[in-house]
Chains A and B, each alone.
Chain A
């Protein structure tokens, strides 16, 4: 069974269109939701997490329709959610915070054992008695992830969990996410193409409330095939160009005749599928 089936989702905040006619499907494994700031990623994740409803469209999550109270409850019982800014009560220890969320998740039997299990799963055995305010950013994110893993959810939604982490913490977090994605559906929102390249089996690109690409990361890179080249000077007409470590320019766009084409990366493909206005802004 498909975990999430969305058809024509739309949502407006006043005059702002956050999502417009968004359709996609999610199955087991890690799917990356890639997009620039303001693309509508958090709004989409909030809809999937049943925090807000869409204005229009059809949505089925784990076989339930979240528009009704019963459907929402059915989804929430099998959902793990890590918001972009998970709020922590500062006087709580890691154990106490996860325990608090376990109560909100109505876990009754063996609650403390379940809290210990998820803290172990994210590698916080030794930190569970520490106050959250004393933990590093990476550890706090792991506390949030532990809370999301309570009760073994079938769908895990993670909103930019690697933001603000140093390279080592990001690496560890990616390992965790890859592990979590075995046997369940994980939707990982990010604006870092490295996250997608390392842990995602599929990727959805969201830009200005629309989905211009959905497929495998390799296919996303393939979008830029034949449209990435290097040159000793910045190429005129390139949609985006930047200087690389060896001094050459890495150009994306329509290559001139005889250009030195190179294999595209996921980032190249991503830049190709977002609109020309965004590209112009990045290149400037």
Chain B
């Protein structure tokens, strides 16, 4: 019997519309409806239009709701609220390309330490590791690196909060990767974790200087300052530096604490791009 030889009875159509039809009759009805315009038209008479509209709206919402990318999905899985994960997913330093570059830099320093097979302090790792979050933060927020920076500044969400969120995400990601690199060093000792305090100190210091000099200049100044300080204190043959001793680490921690306080003091400066604009935003300098 073809679809045109019979039609679904009214009671059965009503049951189908109410969701009360049971297999196998349900399957038979659905197959018939797919091929019979007349029964589809009759079915519409048994369906509440409001329910249909609500159904379409639900389907619509489901279809165009943002699909989280891998980073966003991971952040949600780690327990972050979906809207926070979305804000962080825009962070350039959480993109695959940046994380790959960080991983590559750490792999090279680790491989170099293995090839050297010496018992000296792993200076390349300790020198480079604090620069990674510093650069990551510098490329995560500002007029030159965030395409929606201007919209973010004038949005009700406090810009300083957005900045801290992204900094925390960048620090967490680079700390995790550098931690893995430290574990892979040939000689594991507490000194290989000597990058942790300078990482925090450099990042916070750079942020505290950002309202005065702009994000890129501040990061460059702090980064070169770190390398200069390291170059001045490192022992040529043993590779030891006072920076990676207990007093040195305490000093770096003190710098981090002071920078954190300074950053808190200047937090209001991030609420507009007034200072960033005058010193570091070329679009503002070109402003018409």
Q: Which residues of chain A have a CB within 8 Å of any CB of chain B?
A: 13-14, 18, 35, 37-43, 46, 49-53, 69, 72-73, 76-77, 79, 81, 83, 85-91, 93, 95-96, 99-101, 103-106, 111-113, 116, 128-129, 147
B148, A76: Cβ atoms closer than 8 Å: no
Instruction: Give the shortest distance, in Å, between A210 (CB) and chain B (any CB).
Output: 14
B83, A42: Cβ atoms closer than 8 Å: no
Q: In the docked arrangement, what's the CA distance between A69 and B288, Å?
A: 26
Question: What per-residue 1/0 map shows which CB atoms of B140-170 lie under 8 Å from chain A?
Answer: 0000001111111111110000100000000
B156, A51: Cβ atoms closer than 8 Å: no
Q: Is B90 an interface residue (CB 8 A)?
A: yes
Q: Is B268 an interface residue (CB 8 A)?
A: yes
Known contacts A86-B151, A91-B69; 9 additional CB pairs below 8 A are A18-B287, A69-B268, A73-B156, A88-B147, A99-B66, A101-B151, A101-B155, A104-B87, A106-B155
Instruction: Give the shortest distance, in Å, between A56 (CB) and chain B (any CB).
Output: 14
| 16 sample A-B contacts, Cβ–Cβ < 8 Å, listed by A number | A13-B287, A46-B150, A46-B287, A51-B150, A51-B154, A52-B274, A53-B274, A76-B154, A79-B154, A85-B283, A87-B149, A101-B155, A103-B87, A104-B156, A106-B157, A112-B65
* Chain B interface size range: 35 or more
Please provide the 8 A-B residue pairs with the shortest distance between their CB atoms, ordered closest to farther: A87-B147, A104-B155, A96-B66, A76-B156, A103-B83, A42-B288, A87-B148, A83-B150
Instruction: Give the shortest distance, in Å, between B164 (CB) and chain A (any CB).
Output: 15
Given known A-B contacts A46-B287, A83-B150, A112-B61, A52 and B66 have beta carbons under 8 A apart: no
Contacts of A101 in B (CB 8 A): 148, 151, 155
Q: Is B278 an interface residue (CB 8 A)?
A: yes
Contacts of B278 in A (CB 8 A): 13-14
B287, A51: Cβ atoms closer than 8 Å: no
Given known A-B contacts A49-B154, A88-B147, A100-B87, A42 and B287 have beta carbons under 8 A apart: yes
Q: In the docked arrangement, what's the CA distance between A111 and B115, Å?
A: 55
Q: Is B86 an interface residue (CB 8 A)?
A: yes
Q: Is B284 an interface residue (CB 8 A)?
A: yes
B272, A53: Cβ atoms closer than 8 Å: yes
Q: Is B11 an interface residue (CB 8 A)?
A: no
A100, B147: Cβ atoms closer than 8 Å: no
Question: What per-residue 1/0 map shows which CB atoms of B73-86 lie under 8 Å from chain A?
Answer: 00000000001001
Contacts of B157 in A (CB 8 A): 103-106
Instruction: Give the shortest distance, in Å, between B264 (CB) and chain A (any CB).
Output: 15
Closest B residue by C-beta to A98: B66
A83, B151: Cβ atoms closer than 8 Å: yes
Question: What per-residue 1/0 map shows which CB atoms of B50-75 lie under 8 Å from chain A?
Answer: 00000000001101111001000000
B272, A51: Cβ atoms closer than 8 Å: yes
Closest B residue by C-beta to A160: B288
Q: In the docked arrangement, what's the CA distance between A52 and B268, Å?
A: 12
Contacts of B4 in A (CB 8 A): none
Contacts of B155 in A (CB 8 A): 76, 101, 104-106
A72, B271: Cβ atoms closer than 8 Å: yes
A87, B151: Cβ atoms closer than 8 Å: yes
Instruction: Give the shortest distance, in Å, between B72 (CB) and chain A (any CB).
Output: 10
Contacts of B284 in A (CB 8 A): 13, 46, 52
B288, A41: Cβ atoms closer than 8 Å: yes
Given known A-B contacts A72-B271, A76-B156, A101-B155, A128 and B64 have beta carbons under 8 A apart: yes
Q: In the docked arrangement, what's the CA distance between A3 and B127, Å?
A: 55
Q: In the docked arrangement, what's the CA distance between A1 and B154, Å?
A: 23
B273, A87: Cβ atoms closer than 8 Å: no
Given known A-B contacts A18-B287, A100-B86, A81 and B154 have beta carbons under 8 A apart: yes
Contacts of A42 in B (CB 8 A): 287-288
Closest A residue by C-beta to B285: A13
Q: Is B251 an interface residue (CB 8 A)?
A: no
Instruction: Give the shortest distance, in Å, between A116 (CB) and chain B (any CB).
Output: 7
Contacts of A86 in B (CB 8 A): 148, 150-151
Q: In the docked arrangement, what's the CA distance between A52 and B270, Å?
A: 11
Instruction: Give the shortest distance, in Å, between A211 (CB) and chain B (any CB).
Output: 15
Q: In the docked arrangement, what's the CA distance between A106 and B272, Å?
A: 18
Contacts of A91 in B (CB 8 A): 69
Instruction: Give the shortest distance, in Å, between B93 (CB) and chain A (any CB).
Output: 14
B272, A99: Cβ atoms closer than 8 Å: no
Closest B residue by C-beta to A73: B156
Instruction: Give the shortest distance, in Å, between B61 (CB) and chain A (any CB).
Output: 6
Contacts of B63 in A (CB 8 A): 129
B273, A52: Cβ atoms closer than 8 Å: yes
A129, B146: Cβ atoms closer than 8 Å: no
Closest A residue by C-beta to B278: A13
Q: In the docked arrangement, what's the CA distance between A243 and B268, Å?
A: 55
Q: In the docked arrangement, what's the CA distance between A99 and B268, Å?
A: 26
